[in-house]
Amino acid sequence: MLPDPPPSLTLIQSDLYIWCLYQDNKGYTTSDKNRAAMDQDMVNMFAIAAGTLAIPLLLFMASFMLWPSSLIKVYYWYWRRTLGLQVCYAECGGYRFCYSYRGKPGLRPSVLMLHDFSAHKDTWLPMVKYLPKHLHLLCVDMPGHEGTTRTNTDDYSIQGQVKRIEQFVEAIRLNRKPFHLVGTSMGGTVAGVYAACHPSDLCGLTLICPAGLKNQNESKFDSQMHEVEHSQYTLNIPLIPSTPEEMEEMLKLCSHVRFRVPQQILQGLVDVRIPHNDFYHEVFMEIMSENSKYALHEHIQQITTPLQVIWGKHDQVVDVSGAEVLAEALPGCRVDLLENCGHSVVMERPRQTAKLILDFIISQQSTESASTKKKS
């Protein structure tokens, strides 16, 4: 309610006084309403922002708790994208190879990487992170693994896998120029036999903890396999887990560094593998058969490609004494033994492994250039 005008004012002045007070009071009221509206807008804005942040967080937590395997696949997809890797397919007589690549052929040789048993092309991501982006890299899914064709009639022995890798190399015409081949564990066996059978395709070879050798000492995995064989395979193969507990044990077997893996991630890793466990069992029996078990050892003398051997000193899957076997058979090879490292060299020492491989490639190019100059 407006106050009465002073008695000294005329009627017109009084009316004008009241009108001015009304307008002032009206202005103050409008300002208060505007301020209240602005305060409400701020509250709404913060509520929307909080909701926007909460939704992906809740989705992440739901994925983590309910679908950890999907989260793992998204993680690999994001990491490939971040590192600039593209996934591609190569067809060869009805057989399809899946691989990821980065860069184009250049002054340095292309690098083809062959992963371990029951793994996939993304196994190399931790190491790829530390390799130059201009280097032409290719990471292929081994026969029957991940995105590469899987058939019931295919030959998954070491020799059978070597033939498939040869098909892949020819399909993408990688051997137009000698390339560098890298393999780890089972992939190392395949890489070594490939080098022995196709020396003209390669300018260098890196074997990381390769299987297929008659090592001087038994590993923990060898001892476990004696028990599995003695039980006539009623016990589970340590490298084919089917529960989170078995997955944790496999990680301990393969890694000297103890990774703290949450239970949900362990479950996700198992969920990803379980649909393929029958296939992994088939491949394992093939590569452990009489024809494949010592395939690399039987081809050592045929390897003429410059060789680099990288091995974790605490490897519990394939004993490190295999490095000495290779060094004695091929005196010119370079051997790098890594401290505080197990079988999963690429996961445990990615930066160091990348540097060792790159240094070896560069040194081989320098040696080749020097010998070319002498000849000329």
**Catalytic sites, residue numbers:** 185, 315, 343
Q: Are 150 and 144 in contact (CB under 8 A)?
A: yes
Per-residue tokens: 100: 């990821």
Cβ pair 189, 297 in contact under 8 A: no
Contacts of 331 (CB under 8 A, 6+ apart): none
Q: How many CA atoms lie within 13 A of 129 on its CB side?
A: 15
Residue type, 1: M
List residues bridging with 90 in a β-sheet: 97
CA distance 199 to 299: 12
DSSP 79-119: HHHHHT-EEEEEEETTEEEEEEEES---SSPPEEEE--TT-
SS (H, E, C) 171-226: HCCHHHCCEEEEEECHHHHHHHHHHHHCHHHEEEEEEECCCCCCCCCCCHHHHHHH
